[in-house]
Amino acid sequence: MESLQFLAFVSLTVLLPLLSFFFLTRTSKQSSPSPSTITTQFPKSYPLIGSTFAVYANRERRMQWMTDILKSSPSATFFLHRSFASYEVITANPAVVQHILKTKFHNYGKGDNFHRVLKDLLGFGIFNVDGESWKFQRQISSHEFNTKSLRKFVETVIDTELCDRLIPILSSAAAKTGTVLDFQDILQRFAFDNICKIAFGFDPAYLLPSLPKAKFAEAFEEGVKISTERFLAVFPLWKIKKLLNIGSEKRLRIAVSEIREYATKIIREKKHELGEKASLDSADLLSRFLSSGHSDENFVTDIVISFILAGRDTTSSALTWYFWLLSKNPRVEAEVLKEIREKSESPIFDEVKDMVYTHASLCESMRLYPPVAVDMKEAAIDDILPDGTVVKKGMTVTYHQYAMGRMETLWGADWAEFKPERWLEKSEEEEKHWRFVGRDAYTYTVFQAGPRICLGKEMAFMQMKRLVAGILRRFKVVPVMEEGFVPVFVPYLTSKMKGGLPVRIVERDIDAEE
């Protein structure tokens, strides 16, 4: 009987998807749309397989495809019928976003599916739980993030990494004619060193002139990539592979094991140190959690791994697209550089805070290329959204940050322009100075909104502005790409630029430019 049940299980979960894949492949060969022939229409739905044909046909341009559909929808919301009886509501409507992130916050959590997909990587960390567990982690994290001592520690970590590692690497590249760097990789290494120091008090030394491999960093990269693929799969075949311990799921198990072993080793060393003295001297988040009495290894590991995920790729993703956009918009780069030169060589916190034009240009870059492209919630009970959409219990509701940054209804007819001025207005006191004018968090959702709004928002802006100032004051970043080439936006858990950002570094002739 058990063998018959297993065969039936395999038939439903393996053979049906394989047959569907066969027909999808044949269909895509016969009628795969080219960019010049694509027309925007709501995806057709079929019994059992839902809109799988449309999802598969648009797999290489999924972000733009969904953006086009949302632009065509009168309410900027549509239903996507996935396989079997699975439905998803996808929206770019700020009223709906406010409804799920604030008004009915308690009805829209991460949900069981999200938790299942990321449990291996994130465990029960703050980004993968709901209810009392989330509330507890949020409270203790919020307390630590609001301390001046942590802010000062973060400033020191960033400045040390910038001056001692990044600037020398860029200077060396500028001195050698023809040297091409993958700037996305450089920024990822910078961010990984930073967040490991801030979260663990541990320096992986990932950003060195030799650009070394680092076991912990590579394991993290592998874990994030495979976890993302679970979300993107047309059929959840990852569950079978996990059961059989084969393929990508075997690699995920190995990667997660390496991540947690590394984290556990550091935690035990810190706990041993704490046992020998009243408190830890370090200002990193792990030391703060342990010193305040949170000593459960699994709990601390989960929460610190979550913060590494949050800080590892978000700023590097934002800055990769930022430097590419600056290279295409020399007027904006000139304005940013002018503001930087008005500050001291190593700007203090208040000076960084006053870099208004740079702040606006970063916001504008993330509007077009958000570090997190989409975010999903799951309905705990039946509900009706502000636009009249009926949501059933267990249904996923996804708000599409990438699409929201491209909606003419939200940003005007010039939405495609990289225009920091849309975030600024002239100061009433001094017409020469700009004043930053933010958008409400439900229109500009880059840092989430409502009770789950990003705790590290100010830290992220501080890091990005210090990095931009440190680089642009001395160097010009010149992408090595064919004229007219537009990089491909890849939406992992945090977005990336496909193929990286190859650049040459040119040292500025400050006297000539001034």
Confirm whether residue 196 is marked as ligand binding.
no
Residue 423 in 3-state DSSP?
A: helix
Task: Quote the tokens at residue 174.
Answer: 């500028």
Residue 280's alpha-carbon distances to 151, 195, 263, in angstroms, are 17, 19, 17
Residue 374 in 3-state DSSP?
A: strand
Rounded Cα distance between 327 and 477, Å, is 7
Q: Which residue has the tokens 């920024």?
A: 187
Rounded Cα distance between 89 and 453, Å, is 22
Q: Which residue has the tokens 């949900």?
A: 111
Parallel, antiparallel, or unpaired for β 390-391 and 396-400? unpaired
Rounded Cα distance between 309 and 494, Å, is 9
Residue 180's alpha-carbon distances to 183, 267, 424, 479, in angstroms, are 9, 39, 35, 9
Rounded Cα distance between 138 and 131, Å, is 11
**CB-count burial class (<10 Å; 0-12, 13-18, 19+) for 259:** buried
The full DSSP string for 440-476 is PTTTS-TT--GGG--TTHHHHHHHHHHHHHHHHTTEE
Task: Quote the tokens at residue 255.
Answer: 């990667």
**CB-count burial class (<10 Å; 0-12, 13-18, 19+) for 22:** exposed
Reduce the secondary structure of 345-372 to three states and give it as a string. Answer: CCCCHHHHHCCHHHHHHHHHHHHHCCCC
Beta bridge partners of 87: 81
**What is residue 12's DSSP assignment?**
I
Residues at the binding site for heme are: 454
Residues at the binding site are: 454
